[in-house]
Amino acid sequence: MIAINLLPSEYRKSEATPIARFLSIVIGAVVVTTSLVIYGYVHYSRLREAVDLREATEQTFANKKMEADVSLSLQAEINAYEARRKAITDVAGGRILHSRKLDEFLSVIWNGDDRTAYYIWLNSMAVKPARDSRAKGAATSGGNLSFSGYSDTTNFSRVTNLRDALKGKKAFYDDFKGISRPVFRAQEWDDGLEPTSAGKFSFDLTFKPLGPAREDKAVKKGK
Amino acid sequence: MTRLTEKQLLLLTIGITVLISGGLGLLIWSDFRTIDEEKGKKADLDRQIEAAEREIALRPDREYRVIANREISDREVAFLPEEEEIETFWEVLERFAQDSGVRISEIAPSSIQRSGRDKKGAESTISTVPQVLSLRGTIDEFLRFINMVENYERIINVSEYSVSAGEAPDEDGKHRHGIRLALTTFTYSRKIASTIVSIPKYEEKKEHAEVKKWLSRIKVQEKETYTLPLSIQRRDPFVSVRRRPDSPGGEVEGAPDPEYQGGLIDNIVELVQTLQQGLTFEEELQRRGDLWRLTAQRKENRETYAALSENITTANKEVTIPELRERFKRDVTVPWTAIQKRMEDMRNANPRLGLSQVQEWRDRISKLYDERKWADVESEARGFRDSSKNGQHVDDEAKDLVQIIFEMQRSAKVIDGFDKRKIEITGILYSPRGSSVAVVNAKQMTVGEALDADGTVVVVEIGENYVIFETEGVEIKKEQATQATKK
């Protein structure tokens, strides 16, 4: 018996996969497979490798950082010692030894009670540090020594003799920048005491700024 | 269910392929981005590792520096009290007041606040503690008081003071003055940094040459002190000299003065105590092997000893009141004998100086010599002679250096003497053929001629702008109108 398919050709069951579909399936499979392979390579090889490398580097860094932190702590300790050293130098090296200054000053004032050049007595004396000079930059003075008193005569030259004596005592005057000109005024009393007249005077000495020069001097201890 | 046409199936196949491969492409792209990020992170880490390695490379040197700093730290802060010690500050002031004779009427904190910050505002390890004192005392008492304060082993600085003359004497006859004194002391915290690193093999590394190098570079700040000389008869200038014409105006000539004689003993006793403290410190420095400070302290002690010796001789004649003679014997003569024995023992216990120590002396003296500080060369060389028992107490290998030191001392003395002679070269008539003439101290001189009659300074060479003299075996080059230099 002969069977005849009367269906139009497009409705008939095809005998093989059409070439277009076949090709698209094959190409699709190749593309997908290749993509999968590339993905697998990138994800499980390249990425893993990069992550592993980064993690290993992180570990190395963590170890190195610990060592570096120790080194930095050592440096911080050195810095702290140096800062303290500087502070100590400022404290001890920059000080004026006032017992020395006062001792020398009293000796000049006393003058062995030699009345030929000057003979004086004091009523006040003050030593003051420089105020706020550092805020404006380098200090221009290390403070002041001021004193006032009386000379036993109204002769002005006796006071200038004292000024010369102060300037002439090198050990004493070396720490000073200068001495003011004397302020002098004749004074008379009527209280029955002698001398009945005297020269009232005052002086102001300016210390040199505290600094390295004084530090050098500080090394020479004692008298 | 309708069947898909061939065309639809084709499109479906292509669509699925594109979808799947697109998804995979996205994943791959995302992975590449992650890889780039990882690489970036790694590069950052590499840079940080490089920086860390640079720090690590500095560690050995830093360890040596820290060791040097730690080793010298106690010496550096020797005169700074620790924070907890500050309580003794007031006790010390009270003791000094009693010892000196001043009377403290008030102690108050200064208006300047305690400070624990440095100039940049950072927390500092050193804090200042200012105090203001109101005192009454004679000028000598005040002077003794501030001297004790300034010489105290822990640093106390006198910031300012004022003295107002007292009007009338007190009941005991002493003229006391009103004194206002501002003092500052300093404290430090032993904790130097927030993290103190433990250094492995510390003891071994302590002996390393690098540590010694750093130690030699650190200059330990010395605290200056002053030994008050005796000033027995010095008038108090704050006491008015104005008197009634009929007042005696002083002591009767020749009569024993208990106050004067007592003051004489007081001053000597104080000097005896100063010397005793100085000797204790000298022993400590000798024990530590701190030769530099030892020399300075030894010099100071010898000066005090000499001054004391002279004063005791004087006082021995001047103290005549029996009760005070007894006191003089107890408080001066007995300790003085002990001091003499102690100094003798210390001289005998002087250790031999090794090569490195003599080298240090030589280097120091040589530096001063190059700087033409003749007096300092002399002083240092004398210190060396003291420490080495005139060069005898040194190791054999250092004997040559001893000769060099002595020669420098001799030359320095000769040049110093030469400089002081004020020899001036006012003109030179130079002739390369050897007949040059120099005008020295206004006198024309040629080679071989002596400057003075005794022939101690002889011209040995005349150059274009200089003359070389020879004196006591030392040749000294002096340039025209400039200072002398050793040839």
CB A143 within 8 A of CB A130: yes
B344 lies in the same domain as B283: yes
CB contact under 8 A, A122 and B197: no
- Within 8 A by CB and 6+ apart from B433, the residues are none
B272 lies in the same domain as B333: yes
Asked if residue B249 belongs to a domain, the reply is: no
ipTM over the 0.85 cut-off: no
Q: How far does the CA of residue B395 sit from the closest CA of chain A (Å)?
A: 29
Q: How far does the CA of residue B140 sit from the closest CA of chain A (Å)?
A: 9
Residue A208's nearest CA partner among A166, A163, A175, A173 is A175
Predicted local confidence at residue B145, as pLDDT: 92
Using CB atoms and an 8 Å cut-off, which of residues 171-210 of chain B contact chain A?
Answer: 186, 188, 192-197
Asked if residue B244 belongs to a domain, the reply is: no
Asked if residue B400 belongs to a domain, the reply is: yes
Predicted local confidence at residue A106, as pLDDT: 92
For tokens 């221009």, the residue is A140
Using CB atoms and an 8 Å cut-off, which of residues 240-299 of chain B contact chain A?
Answer: 240-245, 296-297, 299
Asked if residue B211 belongs to a domain, the reply is: no
Predicted local confidence at residue A51, as pLDDT: 94
Residue A218 pLDDT level (bands cut at 50, 70, 90): very low
DSSP A118-168: --EEEEEEEEE---STGGGSS-S-S-EEEEEEEESSS-HHHHHHHHHHHHH
The residue in chain B having the minimum alpha-carbon distance to the alpha carbon of residue A22 is B10
Asked if residue B43 belongs to a domain, the reply is: yes
Q: How far does the CA of residue A79 sit from the closest CA of chain B (Å)?
A: 9
Residue A149 pLDDT level (bands cut at 50, 70, 90): very high
Q: Count other C-beta atoms under 10 Å from residue A57's C-beta.
A: 19
Asked if residue B327 belongs to a domain, the reply is: yes
Task: Rank A41-50, A137-146, B388-397, B406-415 by mean pLDDT and report only the highest.
Answer: A41-50
B363 lies in the same domain as B392: yes
B310 lies in the same domain as B340: yes
Average pLDDT of the segment spanning A203-210:
89
Domain end position, chosen among B418, B439, B454 = B418
Predicted local confidence at residue A90, as pLDDT: 81
Predicted local confidence at residue B38, as pLDDT: 94
Q: Report pLDDT digits (tens) over A169-193.
A: 888 998 899 999 988 999 898 888 8
Residues of A within 8 A of B158 (CB-CB) are 95-96, 98-99, 127
B59 lies in the same domain as B89: no
Residues of B within 8 A of A76 (CB-CB) are 193-195
Q: Which domain holds residue B308?
A: 258-348
B139 lies in the same domain as B99: yes
- As a whole number of angstroms, the distance between CA B42 and CA B227 comes to 68
- As a whole number of angstroms, the distance between CA A218 and CA B219 comes to 13
Residues of B within 8 A of A101 (CB-CB) are none
Give the tokens for residue B391.
Answer: 């060069």
Q: Total structural domains in chain B?
A: 5
Three-state SS sequence of chain B: CCCCCHHHHHHHHHHHHHHHHHHHHHHHHHHHHHHHHHHHHHHHHHHHHHHHHHHHHHHHHHHHHHHHHHHHHHHHCCCCCEHHHHHHHHHHHHHHHHHHCCEEEEEEECCCCCEEECCCCCEEEEEEEEEEEEEEECHHHHHHHHHHHHHCCCCEEEEEEEEECCCCCCCCCCCCEEEEEEEEEEEECCCCCCCCCCCCCHHHHHCCHHHHHHHHHCCCCCCCCCCCCCCCCCCCCCCCCCECCCCCCCCCCCCCCHHHHHHHHHHHHHHHHHHHHHHHHHHHHHHHCCHHHHHHHHHHHHHHHHHHHHHHHHHHHHCCCHHHHHHHHHHHHHHHHHHHHHHHHHHHCCCCECHHHHHHHHHHHHHHHHCCCHHHHHHHHHHHHHHCCCCCCECHHHHHHHHHHHHHHHHHHHHHHHHHCCCCEEEEECCCCCCCEEEECCEEECCCCECCCCCCEEEEEECCCEEEEEECCEEEEEECCCCEEEC
Interface test with A, best of B11, B16, B18, B38 (most A CBs within 10 A): B38
B406 lies in the same domain as B428: no
Interface test with A, best of B33, B34, B37, B45 (most A CBs within 10 A): B45
Interface test with A, best of B8, B17, B230, B290 (most A CBs within 10 A): B17
Domain end position, chosen among B315, B348, B381 = B348
- As a whole number of angstroms, the distance between CA A68 and CA A62 comes to 10
- Out of A28, A32, A64, closest to residue B53 by CB: A64
Average pLDDT, chain A: 85
Asked if residue B262 belongs to a domain, the reply is: yes
The residue in chain A having the minimum alpha-carbon distance to the alpha carbon of residue B33 is A47
Q: How far does the CA of residue B219 sit from the closest CA of chain A (Å)?
A: 9
B410 lies in the same domain as B482: no
Peptide bond into B81 cis (omega under 30): no
Per the model's pLDDT, the better-predicted residue between A51 and B4 turns out to be: A51
Strand partners, B274: none
Decide: pTM greater than 0.90: no
How many angstroms separate the first and last alpha carbons of chain A?
148
Asked if residue B299 belongs to a domain, the reply is: yes
Residues of A within 8 A of B126 (CB-CB) are 84, 87-88, 91
Predicted local confidence at residue B267, as pLDDT: 85
Judged by average pLDDT, the poorest of A21-30, A210-219, B251-260, B432-441 is: A210-219
Predicted local confidence at residue B483, as pLDDT: 46
Predicted local confidence at residue B351, as pLDDT: 65
Q: Is the pLDDT of residue A15 over 80?
A: no
Domain end position, chosen among B37, B71, B105 = B71
CB contact under 8 A, A39 and B157: no
- As a whole number of angstroms, the distance between CA B460 and CA A188 comes to 69
- As a whole number of angstroms, the distance between CA A7 and CA A165 comes to 145
B30 lies in the same domain as B135: no
Interface test with B, best of A17, A74, A162, A203 (most B CBs within 10 A): A74
Which residues of chain B carry a pLDDT beneath 50?
112-122, 249-254, 483-487
Q: How would you class B268 by CB atoms within 10 Å of its CB: exposed for 0-12, middle for 13-18, buried for 19 or more?
A: buried
B434 lies in the same domain as B450: yes
Predicted local confidence at residue B125, as pLDDT: 66
CATH of the domain at B450: 2.30.30.830
Predicted local confidence at residue B251, as pLDDT: 41
- Within 8 A by CB and 6+ apart from B466, the residues are B425, B428, B477, B478, B479, B480
CATH of the domain at B112: 3.30.70.60
B93 lies in the same domain as B170: yes
Residues of A within 8 A of B55 (CB-CB) are 67-68, 71-72, 75
Q: Count other C-beta atoms under 10 Å from residue B309's C-beta.
A: 13
- Within 8 A by CB and 6+ apart from B136, the residues are B102, B103, B105, B166, B176, B177, B178, B179
B60 lies in the same domain as B86: no
Predicted local confidence at residue B485, as pLDDT: 46
Residues of B within 8 A of A100 (CB-CB) are 226
Residue A113 pLDDT level (bands cut at 50, 70, 90): confident
